Chain A
Amino acid sequence: MSLDQILVTGDPMILASQIAILITMIALIVGISYFKKWKYLWSEWFTTVDHKKIGIMYILAGVIMFFRGGVDGLMMKAQTSRPNMEFLDAQHYDEIFTTHGVIMILFMAMPLLIGIMNVVIPLQIGARDVAFPKLNALSFWTFFVGAMLFNISFVIGGSPDAGWTSYFPLAGKEFTPGVGNNYYAISLQIAGIGTLATGINFIVTILKMRAPGMTLMKMPMFTWTSLVTSVIIVAAFPILTVALAFMTLDRLFGTHFFTVAGGGDPMLWLNLFWLWGHPEVYIVVLPAFGMFSEVISTFSRKNLYGYSSMVISIVGIAFLSMLVWVHHFYTMGNSAAVNSVFSITTMAIAIPTGVKIFNWLFTMRKGRIQFSTAMLWSLAFIPCFTIGGVTGVMLAMAAADYQYHNTMFLVAHFHYVLIPGVVFAVFAGLYYWWPKMFGFKLNEKIGKWHFWLFVIGFNLTFMPMFFVGLDGMTRRMYTYSEGLGWEAWLGVSAVGSLIMAAGFAALCYNIYWSFRFASREVGNDPWDARTLEWTMASPAPHYNFAVVPEVDSIDPLWKMKKKGIKAFTKKDLKPIHMPSNSGIPIIMGIAFGIVGFFLVFEWFTLAAIWSLGIIGGLIANSFDYDDGYYVPVDEITKTEGLDDTERKWKGDQ
């Protein structure tokens, strides 16, 4: 295979990207070497098993992927802004909507949510770390390597172009002979391994590592939603694993799972993809619900309304989420009985979701609401998400769906679900928990700019899509002719997307500004919040809790503050056991990436040789009897400020 078959050539935009990527990589390597930061990066970040640092790396990766996916979105909007535009050709447009979808769901939403879960969950339940810290690091590195492998596709070998759903037969070798869809199959597989491990890790963490006294029904709502999300991950991701394995075998080894000529059934792909894909929607949306619950309760100065109905509805959603997948392909030619049953389950899932909406509203009722940026996101979420939900019920009716199916109406619907439901939540969560991660707040004033630009831009972008969709515009259409009456709608939509991008730029600027100028004196509890993570210093010390707290209610910190109870005193301190850093996860992650790359290009010998690296990592891990280390009491005393009798210690309010 010659070089120009590997590198994508001939498109000026891609050439510019290739040059930009090369320059950025060189600049990074030179910069890190010049400032002599390699050792710091290796020992503090690359080999870390600290859940907070892993969480921060997830969030960083997620924000970068948001940028990448956002640029894809902007290009699509530019292309459809006017009739007969020639900004992108059909092939390039296909590639861009494919990578946009995959990146936004799997490499933006998932890592941002898992990142915040990583940072917050152990702190909320009073744990030192997650149950399996080294596995957690491996999860991150497999995710990261999977994401990078997927991202290099557009400059090396060519992007996947069969849509984020990659339906067969289009995604099969016959109609898509390039390596693009190999990237899809293999990078998602690698990232999926990490996600499954995360699910197992968090189930065990939440079930086994809660502070004494924190029964299941006293857990914070974000912890509850993360637990249920983890359960759905464990139930759904193995299905994706198998579906992608079938795809890989079909494309790389000539099997016939989905090729009609060999007796295969392309509809089996749809069935398996959505068996995973629908639960995936709830995997991303449930932790978001948990974040809104925390934020709304904190900034309304009230406990969450209807705690147990909230828990029941989360569990109900999780249960139903596995029973609705057919509503993604009503038009595939199922029997009437199949479509009817899945119509009913789909409509049923609106009920627990509705319960939650009312719980949030009642939490705010008669509360002393503070309009912080985090709260604004939560407030905007409710109406926007409701529009998404109601249009979802319209789509749920199988008979009517024949009209809406694969139109822009559908595209508008799921953006109205996923952007308020996930992106707004992530923004709310970032503003809310930022001080706990970094020891300073994000600027509230720039935050308001971020909020208004993004929310207005969002509505301008996606509201028109409902109308062009009802007017007959199908999704994934790369151009259209004049006189169809769509020009104005799509023009507004394109302008909206620019405003939304400006909102994202405001977030980036906010992060930069706050890093440089924001006050470092935020205290333990900058929002006057209710849960355990706010009992410790900001940023959280590496061992989390100096003394594991005892809990006897849903909002333990709120109770402590009301009663004026101190969390602990100096004589309570004991040495803290911590896990040691490990290089095995990142090395295994890199080995996964290299094997994946060779598999994409079907160089099987090289892939086999490098897979020895993965096996070697497993063996090394099996013989690793490192039992961690202890943080001595002296160090804890110093960190908590307890050695200075003049100063009040940081745990004090």
Chain B
Amino acid sequence: MEKTNKIFPGKMVFGFFLSIVMTVLAAIVFYTDFTSSVKLWIIGALAIFQAGVQLIMFMHMNEGKSGMINTINIVYSVFIAAVIVAGSIWILSTGHAAHY
């Protein structure tokens, strides 16, 4: 909860700081010599973490009377998103599709 009459937006500044750091980190990882799959895992994790920062620090996801519903809603949507992306890749890149 953000207190009204609080003048310095500390939470926002910290959130901004975190997102800048993670973006720069992703760029640094990009220029390292790891294999691309390792790099992808690291920057993927950074992206998910940064999305979480946005949701909680900037979007106040768990605030108000519906905070719990919001959280369940977003977690469920992310689950569906994972099913769609991972499922589509899995289905369409294995089997006969892999051999044509």
A residues in contact (CB < 8 Å) with B: 207-208, 231, 235, 239, 265, 267-268, 271-272, 275, 322-323, 325-326, 332-338
Contacts and interface: CB of A to CB of B under 8 A. Distances in A.
Contacts of B77: 235
A275 B84 contact: yes
B94 A334 contact: yes
A335 B84 contact: no
Interface in B31-84: 66, 69, 76-77, 80, 83-84
A91 to B, nearest CB: 31
Nearest to B83: A322
A265 B69 contact: no
B5 interface: no
Contact of A334 (B66, B84, B91): B91
Contacts of B66: 207-208
B67 to A, nearest CB: 13
B92 A271 contact: yes
B95 A333 contact: yes
B68 to A, nearest CB: 10
A338 B90 contact: yes
Given A271-B87, A334-B95, 5 more contacts: A239-B84, A267-B92, A271-B92, A332-B96, A335-B94
Nearest to A336: B95
B91 A338 contact: yes
Name the residue in A208, A231, A338 with the highest tally of chain B Cβ atoms < 10 Å from its Cβ: A338
B97 interface: yes
B96 A333 contact: yes
A207 B69 contact: yes
Nearest to B84: A275
B39 to A, nearest CB: 25
A271 B95 contact: no
Given A207-B69, A235-B80, A271 B88 contact: yes
Contacts of B69: 207
Nearest to A265: B92
Interface residues of B, number: 17
A558 to B, nearest CB: 29
A208 B64 CA distance: 13
Given A207-B69, A235-B77, A337 B94 contact: yes
Contacts of A265: 92, 97
A268 B80 contact: no
Contacts of B97: 265, 267, 333-334
A325 B92 CA distance: 13
Nearest to B90: A338
A335 B95 contact: yes
Nearest to B80: A235
Nearest to A326: B91
A248 to B, nearest CB: 19
23 contacts: A231-B76, A235-B80, A239-B84, A265-B92, A267-B92, A271-B87, A271-B91, A272-B88, A275-B84, A275-B87, A322-B80, A322-B83, A332-B95, A333-B95, A333-B96, A334-B91, A334-B95, A334-B96, A334-B97, A335-B95, A337-B94, A338-B91, A338-B94
Q: Closest 7 interchain pairs by CB?
A: A333-B96, A335-B95, A335-B94, A334-B95, A235-B80, A333-B95, A338-B91
A336 B69 CA distance: 38
A322 B91 CA distance: 15
A235 B88 contact: no
Contacts of B91: 271, 326, 334, 338
Contacts of A333: 95-97
Name the residue in B69, B76, B84 with the highest tally of chain A Cβ atoms < 10 Å from its Cβ: B84
Contacts of B76: 231, 235
A207 B65 CA distance: 11
A227 to B, nearest CB: 12
B98 to A, nearest CB: 8
Contacts of A325: 87
A231 B69 CA distance: 12
Contacts of B96: 332-334
A268 B92 contact: yes
A336 B96 CA distance: 10
Contacts of A326: 91
Contacts of A235: 76-77, 80
B26 to A, nearest CB: 26
A522 to B, nearest CB: 38
